[in-house]
Chain A
Amino acid sequence: DAKTTQPPSMDCAEGRAANLPCNHSTISGNEYVYWYRQIHSQGPQYIIHGLKNNETNEMASLIITEDRKSSTLILPHATLRDTAVYYCIVRAHNAGNNRKLIWGLGTSLAVNP
C-alpha cells in the first residue's frame, strides 16, 4: 500500500471550512483513498473513501486530484466536535485483502471557537 504524507497539525475557526491535505504520490491505479478520524480517548472512526471521483457524504467531502497524487478532505462547517486527529490512508480493494491499513500519524485538527 502507498505511503501518505499529512501536515502534523492544523487550526480552523468554528463554522469555517476545514481543508485537510494529503499527499500520496506513489498511489497505484487500484488503490483507494480512505479518511478516518480519532477523537480524543475514542477509537478511530471512518469518514469517507474514494478512488478518483470526488465523493461527498453527511460528514465530509473528498476531493482527489486528477493525477490522484493528492487529496483534500473538506469539513464544510467545522464544529468544536470536529477537533480530532485525521488519518489519510491508501489501500487496494484486493479480494481477501481487507486486512491491513497502514496508519501514519495523521493531522491533528484543532477547531477554535
Chain B
Amino acid sequence: DVKVTQSSRYLVKRTGEKVFLECVQDMDHENMFWYRQDPGLGLRLIYFSYDVKMKEKGDIPEGYSVSREKKERFSLILESASTNQTSMYLCASSFLTGMDNEQFFGPGTRLTVL
C-alpha cells in the first residue's frame, strides 16, 4: 500500500513560533505537494517539489517555505506562525509523469496557532 505519512495529526503552536510540518512517502514519487484546506475555500496549493532540492511556488506561498533534501521527505516551514495560518495541512505525492499519475494524500495535520 502507498503510504504518505505526516508527522502530527494535531499541533498547537503560539504566534511567532517556527513550525515544521514533515511529510514522508514510500512510493519513490518525484512530486510532492503541500496544500492547506479551509472551510469554504477548498484545497489550495502552497508549494510543490518535482525533485530533490527543487521547489515551485503554488497559489499561496506567502508565509511558508519548504525543504526537500531527500526524495521521500518534504517539509513545510512556517518561519513565524500567525493565527491566520491555523488550518488543515495536507501533504501529497505522485509520479512526475504518466497516465496513472494520481496524487496520494497523507491524513493531514490540523494546526492551531494561538
Q: How far is the CA of A49 from the CA of B98 in the complex (A)?
A: 13
- Chain A 31-57 interface 0/1 with B at a Cβ cutoff of 8 Å (1 = within): 000101000011111100100000000
Whether A17 is near chain B, meaning CB under 8 Å from some CB there, is no
Q: Which segment, of B14-22, B42-50, B73-81, faces chain A?
A: B42-50
Chain A residues lying within 8 Å of B56, measured Cβ to Cβ, are 99
Interface SS, B side: strand
Chain A residues lying within 8 Å of B58, measured Cβ to Cβ, are 100
The answer on a CB contact under 8 Å between A103 and B95 is no
The answer on a CB contact under 8 Å between A95 and B97 is yes
Whether B64 is near chain A, meaning CB under 8 Å from some CB there, is no
Q: How far is the CB of B28 from the nearest CB of chain A, in Å?
A: 14
Chain A residues lying within 8 Å of B92, measured Cβ to Cβ, are 43-44
- Chain A 50-92 interface 0/1 with B at a Cβ cutoff of 8 Å (1 = within): 0000000000000000000000000000000000000000000
Query: Do A100 and B96 form a contact, CB below 8 Å, given A43-B105, A43-B108, A46-B102?
Result: no
What is the interface of chain A, defined by CB distance below 8 A to chain B?
34, 36, 41-46, 49, 93, 95-101, 103-106
